[in-house]
Amino acid sequence: MHKYPHWPIHVVLSFISALMLIPFVWVLKTSLTGENIFSFPPSILPEDPHLFYYVDVWYTIPFFRYLVNSVVVSAIVVAANIVFNAMAGFALTREFFGKKAIIMLFLSCMMIPFQVTIIPAYLITKQLGLLNSFLGMALPVCSTIVCIFVFKASFDAIPKSLIDAARIDGLPDWKIIFRIMLPLSQSAIATNVILAFIWSWNNFLWPLVIIRDQAMQTLPLGLSRFLTVVEDTTGALYAFCIMVLLPGLIIFLLAQKQFIAGLTKGAAKG
């Protein structure tokens, strides 16, 4: 078999990657210099960079409070997603009456945008007495259909004999999930963690609807508030964006290997 050199494709891919990084570099540069993004000629490297815009953001709004709120909500969402999605994913690996109908229902529900269901979601949350609370903010994203299918694909790849053996040993279903299936599905867990974290971290509309107390606001709401407080603060605004982006970026970079494995697992199956 003829082998082609890899370097041309690497050069092209590196160039495309660099192009895709430009917006992020631009935001980072603006946060360090305060330079207007429309200034001409544009410069790639920051001139006279400093971190004072980050200090402005930290003190202008209660950033730490917003950060804690976002972390708490995201932690609830991530934990709930792993537990509920694993259980749902496991159920879908079993054979039962109406399984196909449920899968079709799940798939069709994925096509309904959240904005359509926001009023019923609000009324349910109100009935539960969870308005203006962390749990209320986490509730609608405590289980997501995409992540259920990620777990299902991962569980499908585990030999049935292993589950049968566990069952013969007397393990109940919930122990099979948490002691056997989950330890063998680390990539699916990583995918769940990243997706749930990012969705929760970036969630704007739902917290906006149910949060009334300023001290309960999350970072996206803080960003919106920041924009209403200040008008011409290019540097501080971009510094805020970097501060909001950074935790998600760190989580993604740490778990990217498992994340990609989790998304592709089962893709080549059958």
Partner 1 sequence: MLRAILLNRYTITFGLIAILAVVWNIYVHFNDDGIITGQVIGPGRRPVPGATVILSEKTLLVSAPRDETRTDAAGRFRFSGHRLFRFYLEASKEGVGRMPPKEFRLYFKGQNLRLDQALQLKEGK
Q: Which residues bind partner 1 (CB under 8 A)?
A: 50-52, 55-56, 59-60, 229-230, 233, 236, 250, 254
Which two three-digit tokens encode residue 20? 């895709």
Nearer Cβ to partner 1 (60/202): 60
Nearer Cβ to partner 1 (34/136): 34
Closest CB 99 distance from partner 1, rounded Å: 36
Closest CB 263 distance from partner 1, rounded Å: 20
Closest CB 50 distance from partner 1, rounded Å: 8
Nearer Cβ to partner 1 (147/236): 236
Nearer Cβ to partner 1 (30/93): 30
Nearer Cβ to partner 1 (11/254): 254
In 3D space, the residue among 49, 48, 26, 31 whose CA is nearest the CA of residue 244 turns out to be 31
Closest CB 159 distance from partner 1, rounded Å: 26
Nearer Cβ to partner 1 (90/240): 240
Closest CB 83 distance from partner 1, rounded Å: 20
Closest CB 238 distance from partner 1, rounded Å: 14
- The string of DSSP codes covering the chain is -PPPPSHHHHHHHHHHHHHHHHHHHHHHHHHHH---TT-SS--SSPSS--SHHHHHHHHHTTHHHHHHHHHHHHHHHHHHHHHHHHHHHHHHHS--TTHHHHHHHHHHHTTS-GGGGHHHHHHHHHHTT-TTSHHHHHGGGSS-HHHHHHHHHHHHTS-HHHHHHHHHTT--HHHIIIIIIGGG-HHHHHHHHHHHHHHHHH--HHHHHH---GGG--HHHHHHHHHHH-SS-HHHHHHHHHHHHHHHHHHHHHHHHHHHHHHHTTTT--
